[in-house]
Amino acid sequence: MASPAGSIFTRQPWKGLYTLIVAALVTARLPFWLIYYIPRALRQHPQWSFRQALMVQLLKTISYHFTVIEMRTPLSIEPGLDKACFVAVHPTKPERYVDILNDNQAKPVNLGGTWYPGAYEVGDRQDVVLHFHGGAFVLGTGRADDAGFAAKMLHKHSTAKIFMPQYRLSSNPGGKFPAALQDAVSAYQHLLDAGVPHSKIIVSGDSAGANLALALLRYLSEHEDLFPTPAAAWLWSPWVDIARAADPTAYGRHRNYGTDYINGIFGAWGARTYVPNSISASHPYISPMNHPFMCKTPLWIHTGGLELLYDDDVKLADNLKEIEGNKVEFVVEPYAPHDIILLGDKLGFVAEAERATKKAVEFLKHKRVGA
């Protein structure tokens, strides 16, 4: 189990020493894994290819050790390699950050965002997908080197332009809730101010990003006097029970633990750093699974049949369907692990990601607001 926050492994020189030792150990284990996963019977699931089995094992191991050292993701509002596709997003009017967003600690700030394949221009007629990347609120940037595969999938099958905000992370100072939700509101208003009709905006997110997308939809629903309703929402492997994730042993008891790359300490790291002392981890804006709400925006929810969050996602969908007026479609990719829209290319689940994206686009055609 990972050491607690502030342990020697999160500080230099021990952090660097630990990283070197782990790199050597993983390198030493790799030949064993290359042989071990050749027989289909020894793979995590018999339907998986050799590549899928190997890459899930590698990612599970690497993510565990990233968590032990609490690897940080520095954020910059400089364009860098994304050049003209990266834009600055400024806070909107103070009166739009009310109630849960009116916080004594977290305040709206400038942030960046990346357009795919290019920036929106006034007069563009295609949809715009406002997508929030995953990473347990502690990792990710939404830039091309981080979420490029997701952007490629979404654009390829929808022809929409994709905008990924670089929201604040809880692994960095000032990133606890509601900082990311403030950034989500800023990003949504940024699109409106840029001339994107609300009827052309699809709110989307994967894993923790889907949690954030759902929080944004809840906020928009509660403040219809401040914001118009987006056309639809896509939630990919949503992480919706952060309260349970705070227990690092919770995921290890799940039947799908062996077929997913998520580990308990990674979720616990995200939960510990994201939830402030002033609010409960079970709050509807943080752990929405058991807190359904009326949402005028049609909801498409996707999960993997072999992922740790499968049961949570089923319960989320069922709860939302019970609210009169909600339009909810739930889709399962039976042999997929967690979050293939973000990591399908790295894990070898490209075909599955393609299939899921096509279903999301089909849902948009028939269920979007006004359809």
For the chain, the average pLDDT equals 96
Please tell me what DSSP assigns to residue 270.
Answer: H
Condensed to tens digits (0 to 9), the pLDDT of residues 239-256 reads 999 999 999 999 999 999
User: If you write DSSP's letter for every residue of 141-188 in order, what string do you get?
Assistant: --SHHHHHHHHHHHHHHH--EEEEE-PPPTTSTT-STTHHHHHHHHHH
The answer to whether 134 and 140 are in contact (CB under 8 A) is yes
Share of the chain above pLDDT 70, in %: 98
Condensed to tens digits (0 to 9), the pLDDT of residues 266-301 reads 999 999 999 999 999 999 999 999 999 999 999 999
Residue-level pLDDT at 5: 53
Q: Residue 7's pLDDT band (boundaries 50, 70, 90)?
A: confident
pLDDT at residue 27 tops 60: yes
Please tell me what DSSP assigns to residue 23.
Answer: H
The answer to whether 341 and 357 are in contact (CB under 8 A) is yes
The answer to whether 336 and 352 are in contact (CB under 8 A) is yes
> What 3-state class would DSSP assign to 327?
coil
Condensed to tens digits (0 to 9), the pLDDT of residues 72-110 reads 899 999 999 999 999 999 999 999 999 999 999 999 999
- Spell out the alpha helix ranges (H) of 84-143: none
Q: Residue 1's pLDDT band (boundaries 50, 70, 90)?
A: very low
Residue whose tokens read 């002392």: 277
> What 3-state class would DSSP assign to 63?
helix
> What 3-state class would DSSP assign to 24?
helix
Condensed to tens digits (0 to 9), the pLDDT of residues 217-238 reads 999 999 999 999 999 999 999 9
Residue-level pLDDT at 371: 73
Q: Residue 339's pLDDT band (boundaries 50, 70, 90)?
A: very high
Residue whose tokens read 């929405």: 288
The side-by-side arrangement of strands in the sheet containing 86-89 is: 86-89, 111-116, 161-165, 128-132, 201-206, 232-236, 299-304, 328-333
Using CA atoms, how far apart are residues 83 and 224, in angstroms rounded to an integer?
Answer: 35
Residue-level pLDDT at 225: 96
The answer to whether 24 and 315 are in contact (CB under 8 A) is no
Condensed to tens digits (0 to 9), the pLDDT of residues 316-326 reads 999 999 999 99
Nearest to residue 66, comparing CAs of 25, 28, 27, 9?
A: 9
Share of the chain above pLDDT 90, in %: 95
Helix axes 144-158, 350-367, angle to 10 degrees: 50
The answer to whether 138 and 170 are in contact (CB under 8 A) is yes
The answer to whether 37 and 43 are in contact (CB under 8 A) is yes
pTM confidence score: 0.96
pLDDT at residue 2 tops 50: no
pLDDT at residue 3 tops 60: no
Strand partners, 223: none
What spatial distance separates the first Cα and last Cα of the chain, rounded to whole Å? 50
Condensed to tens digits (0 to 9), the pLDDT of residues 43-73 reads 999 999 999 999 999 999 999 999 999 988 9
Strand partners, 163: 115, 130
- Residue 260 has a CB neighbour count (10 Å cut-off) of 24
Nearest to residue 209, comparing CAs of 145, 136, 152?
A: 136
Q: Residue 6's pLDDT band (boundaries 50, 70, 90)?
A: low
Residue-level pLDDT at 370: 83
Instruction: State CA 81 to chain mean position distance.
Output: 22
Residue 180 corresponds to which tokens in the numbers above? 């990311």
Strand partners, 129: 162, 202
Query: Between vectors from CA 333 to CA 252 and to CA 293, what angle results, nearest 5°?
Result: 80
